[in-house]
Amino acid sequence: MTKYVYDFAEGSKDMKDLLGGKGANLAEMTVLGLPVPPGFVITTQACTTYLRTGELPQELAAEVEEHLLALEAAMGKGLGDADDPLLVSVRSGGKFSMPGMMDTVLNIGLNDVSVHGLAKQSGSARFAWDSYRRLVQMFGKTVLGVKGEPFDSAFEEAKRAKGTRDDLQLEASDLEELVGRFQGIVRDHTGEPFPQDPRAQLELAIRAVFASWNTERAKLYRRQERISGDLGTAVSVCSMVFGNLGMDSGTGVAFTRDPGSGAQGVYGDYLQNAQGEDVVAGIRNTLPLQQLEELDKRSYDELMQTMATLERHYRDLCDIEFTIERGKLWMLQTRVGKRTAGAAFRIATQLVDEDLIGEDEALLRVTGAQLAQLMFPRFGSTKDAALLTTGMGASPGAAVGKVVFDSATAVEWQARGEDVILVRRETNPDDLSGMIASAGILTSRGGKTSHAAVVARGMGKTCVCGAEELEVDVHGRTLHAPDGSQITEGEVLSIDGTTGAVYRGAVAVTPSPVVQYFEGELAPEDGDDLVQAVHRLFVHADARRRLGVRTNADTPSDSERARRFGAQGIGLCRTEHMFLGDRRQLVEDLVLADSEKAQSDALAALLPLQREDFVGILRAMDGLPVTVRLLDPPLHEFLPDLVELQVEIAVAEATDGEVDPRRRKLLEAVSRLHESNPMIGLRGVRLGLVIPGLFAVQVRALAEAAAALRGEGRDPRPEVMVPLVSTVQELEIVREEAEQILAAVAAETGQDVATLIGTMIEIPRAALTSGSIAGAADFFSFGTNDLTQMGYGFSRDDVEASFFARYLDLGVFGVSPFESIDEAGIGRLVRISVEEGRAAKPDLKIGVCGEHGGDPASVHFFHAAGLDYVSCSPFRVPVARLEAGRAALLQDAEPPLGDTR
């Protein structure tokens, strides 16, 4: 029989699939002997059953009751007892951390009777009514679906009536009256009174937490973080400990290292006389954790010792939630903490130096996505910038954008191409869509552990929190600065997530030192600790990886930059870019040629230009392979637009009747070449076979360029790649002609121009007949952009604009198949091609040259599929190098401890 409920003492950190991250880590701390309030966990299996059927598993009620009775016996009190009530929290917790995305309910067990027992038992009526107020408000919003605004308005009115903005100034009688108002809100909005049966409260809360797995904000977060929607959430039922019993109590969040920078030290926030949600909600600005030492040294020392224990045990940065109840420390949660990209690299190398992890695991602790964040620019000189205020740097980076005050506006403006800064008093989970759309986030409340800070760090967004001097008027859509000035919606702000500085207007950015390191402008020993950390991990990644990394480059400058970034050659040199600009006239001559001689003359004119193009690229990549793709697009792409030509000629005929004969002839040619679906029309190898000499002139230009460089004592390594092949016969015809040209150039120049000849695999038929095609190929290179288009039956330019966004919203795609390889479908074509190609020719060299070659997840797939190299744009070369090293390790090792996304 399936077991749905586990006591904390029965679990461990390795049971995250079943107990969720929160439940598994509570169990781990319990086993370690740390002070954890007793409780139990309802598994993710119960959640998935509930979400699938709409009903809790039949056995669950009995299991929950069994564990609840055991908890009551251990605590010596009953849930919601009149005289000395046991209260519990009901908390969500999936396998992967989703901060603030799902629901939690505190103080379950309070009702109109037990609140008096709690007041008597605690000796504080204010505490009891404050706890009851919190339950009605949280239960109403989370479980009963009441909007938060009526509760917030009533709360603000109560504070105004008291003449204060501080909720701590409300007395027991004020809070008792507020409970009555909150219960009235529940009754008005639901038609039912607030539930008084504690066990009914518990069951309803469990159902609500399960259901919160599928809220829009949770689904949006999972799409953003690529978390499967099938996992479900566990529910932790934990006996309550209270940080709102008075000024000798409180709650806090701590990190064993700075999640923003990776620096070692004491980092976190503490709030006296508060419960846990107060810290992340940012309703009051918190105290730095260091001040706890002055307030309660004994608890502070115990917390420091506990944090050290947890970091040694997990061998990583730990994120900790704790409560102090009248001088007694309680641990409510720990997890491997989210951190910024810079912190990830620094912490990984720090832990190696501390002998907590090895270099292999350090490499597994960082990602290509994090590296990409580090390569973005940052603010340069700010001496002339207009500083408005300085808040708390909560998530590093430099962000410039127009101010918006709500998520809907952020999404709308971002969709029309605007960079925006989302400005809020504090964010909440409903702001997620706006946070995703924004270049940066600015709040006037909260600290490094607030909702805005935690979510921004997880997404790699720049964030400044706790800018107290700024008054945010959401309704007036105005930001009031400390100097008396105002910033209205649409004005530009610049925020620095490292220093916390907020500037009026746009501040110029400067290159990242990490990019300077890759460019060779900054030696590792001259860089800061981040550059040194990146260098160390890259040395190890390059030593571990099996996959080669090439670049897609069409110019000498791109080639040189990619080589500095570590590219081991060019996997795709697109020759069509060489036919644009002033050379369009030569393509027109080729199209308009009405005799073999005219066609030959047009091709001959292209030869020296192509040769010089290739000389520059081969020189930049001297000693490394350069794969040149023969002309791929249809010819009409190099010619004037059909409609524009028609209009031009019609206007000329209507005005003076004089029409340039060449333009009229060109219109006839463009009309003849026009296709309904050019993506699968006359292009690639088909074009080379239909227009004699077209591919020949390109092969000759490449061979002559290689011969010229060999004459200079250089080592050019050209490769010819035939595009859009679907049958082996196409490749055989092109290969035969190319080999004749190569032999002729070698004879003419006396230089060895040995050149590999291969093909792109970008048509499904080619993938499925790779065994025969391999007989005529020295190499395969997967063109995954076209392979994805043809495999799905998509026209990328059309579908991305028309329905991809809807497909992503509906969950049809977890991620665009043009962004990350579709392993199940397109990936299967790749695997078939590799297996059949290598079966026919064991030494067949195989790579990929679509932009998937720089996507972290896709790099792992290509490694597993057995490719020899990936190729991507120059800027993504370092990302591919890092992920290739990680992919090699993950073939033989377990994933790193914890989840650091």
Supply 303's token pair.
């917390």
Given the residues 47, 238, 573, 849, select the one marked as catalytic: 849
184 residue type, one letter: G
Give every CB contact of residue 42 below 8 A, 6+ residues apart in sequence: 4, 5, 60, 64, 206, 234, 235, 236, 237
- Is 428 within 8 Å of 422 (Cβ atoms)? no
* Euclidean distance between CA atoms 373 and 378, whole angstroms: 11
Quick count: other Cβ atoms within 10 Å of Cβ 887?
A: 24
The dihedral over CA atoms of 800, 803, 809, 812, expressed in degrees to the nearest 10, equals -90
> Smallest Cα–Cα separation from 24: which of 43, 42, 11, 5?
11
* Euclidean distance between CA atoms 178 and 184, whole angstroms: 10
Residue 601: phi, psi to the nearest 5? Answer: -65, -40
Give SS3 for 303: helix
Instruction: Please list, residue by residue across 846-866, b when 16 or more beta carbons sit within 10 angstroms of its beta carbon and e when fewer do.
Output: bbbbbbbbbbbbbbbbbbebe
> Smallest Cα–Cα separation from 21: which of 236, 313, 303?
236
Question: Residue 507: is it exposed, middle or buried by C-beta count within 10 angstroms (0-12/13-18/19+)?
Answer: buried
User: For residue 46, what is the enclosing H or E element?
Assistant: helix 44-53
Residue 709: phi, psi to the nearest 5? Answer: -70, -35
- Sign, CA dihedral 390-395-397-403, equals negative
Give SS3 for 843: coil
577 is catalytic: no
Supply 758's token pair.
């291969």
Residue with tokens 């896709």: 858
Full strand arrangement of the beta sheet holding 250-257: 287-288, 264-272, 250-257, 318-325, 328-336
31 residue type, one letter: V
Residue 756: phi, psi to the nearest 5? Answer: -70, 145
Q: What's the gap between Cα 360 and its chain centre?
A: 23
- Is 554 within 8 Å of 611 (Cβ atoms)? no
* Euclidean distance between CA atoms 303 and 291, whole angstroms: 13
What is the C-alpha R_g of the chain?
33
Instruction: Please list, residue by residue across 26-44, b when 16 or more beta carbons sit within 10 angstroms of its beta carbon and e when fewer do.
Output: bbbbbeeebebbbbbbbbb
Residue with tokens 């907590």: 356
CA angle 288, 289, 292 (to 5 degrees): 110
Supply 696's token pair.
């020949």
User: Can you give the length of the chain in residues?
Assistant: 901
Supply 569's token pair.
């050659």
User: For residue 733, what is the enclosing H or E element?
Assistant: helix 728-749
Strands 478-480 and 486-488: antiparallel
Residue 244 bridge partners (DSSP): none
Give SS3 for 760: strand
Start-end of H helices in 520-660: 529-544, 556-564, 584-592, 596-620, 642-655
- Is 393 within 8 Å of 498 (Cβ atoms)? yes
* Euclidean distance between CA atoms 734 and 58, whole angstroms: 68
* Euclidean distance between CA atoms 776 and 60, whole angstroms: 64
Given the residues 238, 318, 451, 872, select the one marked as catalytic: 451
* Euclidean distance between CA atoms 622 and 706, whole angstroms: 10
318 is catalytic: no
Active site residues: 451, 849
